[in-house]
A and B are shown apart, each in its own frame.
Chain A
Amino acid sequence: MDYITVAMAKGRTADRALVLLEKAGIHFSEFHDESRKLVVFDDENSIKLIFVKAVDVPTYVEKGAADIGIIGKDTILEDPRDVYELLDLGIGKCKLAVAGFPGTQITGSQFLTVASKYPNAAKDYFDKKGIRTELIKLNGSIELAPLIGMSDVIVDIVETGSTLKENGLVVLETIRDISARLIVNKASYATKTARIQQFIADLKVALEVHS
């Protein structure tokens, strides 16, 4: 039987996803926290798990290098791909939000400078509100941008808000809720329908038990 390839990024969401998979009867015996292996197998179910960088998960799935991907909605919003998005795993929950100094006015009267790891998603949000923006793409320490006067606001994912608070920033507007999604390559869904639907059904049962 052909292996089904699942792609995800190492980290907290992956750990929780692996717990879910375990409940669904899918077990990667070679995997443990300190392992640096990038590919692990569940030979019993013919499932292969590959670890890739988070932003690359949708690419692997769209190209068919992986049949299934588990990835945060934030990444999907930033870089939409031609894939199926079949399940909300309800893990890795957080919010995509606009943050800045308390009292910062967000109006359409002048250009708003926005720093973000998610420039496309941010631009999309402000465009819909009719607010003109200048986007600055950053890859980390986004909170720094308003502190040193590089941007008026930031758009980032917020989990507890403690990083914002420590830097004197607050959430100004919530854009939307984020959670991990299961995405599937369209060709795989057509040629391996039964196995992928089974995989999803097993995960759904595990999700119900989980909640």
Chain B
Amino acid sequence: MYEEMLLNDYENDEQIIETISKRFTTYGYKRIKTSAFEHYDLYSKVKSAINQNEMIKVIDSTGEVLVLRPDVTIPVTQQLAQRTGKLSSELRYYYVQEVFRQPFERSEKIASTQAGIEYFCESSPEADAEVIALACHTMKDLGFNDIKIEIGHAAFFNELVQDLPITSQQVGQLKTLIQAKNIVEIGPFLENFQIANEVKQAIEQIPFLYGNPSDVYDRANGNALTKKMQDTLDYIMDVYRILKMYGLEQYIVIDLGLINHMDYYSDVIFQGYVGRFGKPVLMGGRYDQLGNEFGATLPAIGFACEIESLAKASEKSKRPSTTIDVKIVYEDVQVGQAIQIANELRGRDYRVLSFPKRKEQSDYQQSDYVIQLTETDSSLHYNEELISFSSMKELLDLLASVKGAL
């Protein structure tokens, strides 16, 4: 549904985008863009990645059906697959762009801005831990304190259910029960089928496999019925050990009942929460088999977060920040000096506004510093202190010193 965008909404979003982009860059990611329109066929081909009812379809002049970009991972993977059948070198990409989905609920918007990374590399605990560490690092940059990253593994559940005598629709029902940690109903649901007792018990235990990694590992060990499940557990613990080296153990919980909606995740999956916000703020996982859909071998891991959610979440936990660094207030005769200072400071990335004294009240924005220019005196007003300066160099030194004191 059409939603009006409010004019003043964007400032906060842009700051978040800037922070995120900066952090992604420090881990060696390069920014990419994908096309706003994609072929509908691309999305109908990839198995149940995105619900087809959610896609916004458009018909072009030749009659071909296009969709407004519902996700970024799939077109990136497809493009790479067309270029190369096999990964010759690791690739790190990040993007910040809008995605479009028809929401089921009226209150939600069609467009949202996603920021995310795709790291094409062989699966290894170091690589996966680095991506989770980047997710955590990014959330910390944004000023969130109560960060929790839940880590799970797609193979754990899949391995348990793959040999069960139940239809794919029933697997779906079981997934829903596990996603809801519905301990009350999982048991009775399984009673309907001929399932070995130990498998039944292992499935019933999944909702309890949540919490501190070492505890979960101990509890899950008894439920690892196959070698693959055991390997999965060991792999998660390896990832966790590396995350500890990043100093992030306080943020990590294991949730083996975590089953993502995106069916293409094959191994490690994770999602992040921050305090006082009811939805996950980031989601990701490893999707080693997605490339196969396009005839290429492209192991990769990635995550994405929604800028609008982050903005909403940060509103709740942060004080409003000033958007102007320096305000210059000058007497009319000092207009030349004011322009000179403004130019100089803008050249150094300060955000500057300047006004003649008679128009001082024309903008109500708060700034960190105020520079007052009169015929007789130039001074910097900061934190209730008034310090005079006589040259540009003195002013810059002054700004540098008070900034350093912050």
Residues of chain A whose beta carbon lies under 8 Å from any beta carbon of chain B: 2, 62-65, 80, 82-88, 181, 185-188, 190-191, 193
Contact = CB atoms under 8 A, between A and B. Distances in A.
A133 B97 CA distance: 43
Interface string B51-83: 000000000000000000000000000000000
Contacts of B146: 191
Contact of A190 (B148, B176, B182, B184): B148
A177 to B, nearest CB: 10
Nearest to A76: B180
> A interface, by DSSP: helix, strand, loop or mixed?
mixed
B314 to A, nearest CB: 14
Interface string B176-208: 100111111100000000000000000000000
Interface of B: 146, 148, 150, 176, 179-185, 210-211, 253, 273-280
A185 B278 contact: yes
A139 B256 CA distance: 40
Contacts of A80: 176
Given A190-B148, A190-B253, A181 B184 contact: yes
A86 B257 CA distance: 13
B181 A187 contact: no
A67 to B, nearest CB: 9
A62 B180 CA distance: 12
B182 A85 contact: yes
Contact of A85 (B184, B211, B278): B184
Q: Which 4 A-B pairs rank lowest in CB-CB distance, beginning with the nearest?
A: A64-B278, A190-B148, A187-B273, A190-B273
Contacts of B183: 86-87
B180 A85 contact: yes
Contacts of B150: 190
6 contacts: A2-B275, A63-B278, A64-B279, A85-B184, A85-B185, A86-B181
A193 B184 CA distance: 20
Given A64-B278, A185-B278, A186-B280, A191 B273 contact: yes
Nearest to A88: B184
A181 B275 CA distance: 24
Given A62-B278, A186-B279, A188-B278, 18 more contacts: A64-B279, A65-B278, A83-B180, A84-B180, A85-B185, A86-B182, A86-B183, A87-B184, A88-B184, A181-B184, A185-B278, A186-B273, A187-B274, A187-B280, A191-B148, A191-B274, A193-B210, A193-B211
A84 B181 contact: yes
Contacts of B280: 186-187
A86 B211 CA distance: 15
A85 B177 CA distance: 9
Contacts of B179: 82
A84 B182 CA distance: 7
A191 B185 CA distance: 25
Contacts of B276: 2, 64
B358 to A, nearest CB: 48
Contacts of A187: 273-274, 277-280
Contacts of A181: 184
Contacts of B273: 186-187, 190-191
A62 B176 CA distance: 15
Contacts of A82: 179
A64 B278 CA distance: 4
A180 B185 CA distance: 13
B186 to A, nearest CB: 10
A66 B23 CA distance: 33
A64 B279 CA distance: 7
Contacts of B182: 84-86
A190 B180 CA distance: 14
A64 B181 contact: no
A102 to B, nearest CB: 30
Contacts of B176: 80
A2 B277 CA distance: 13
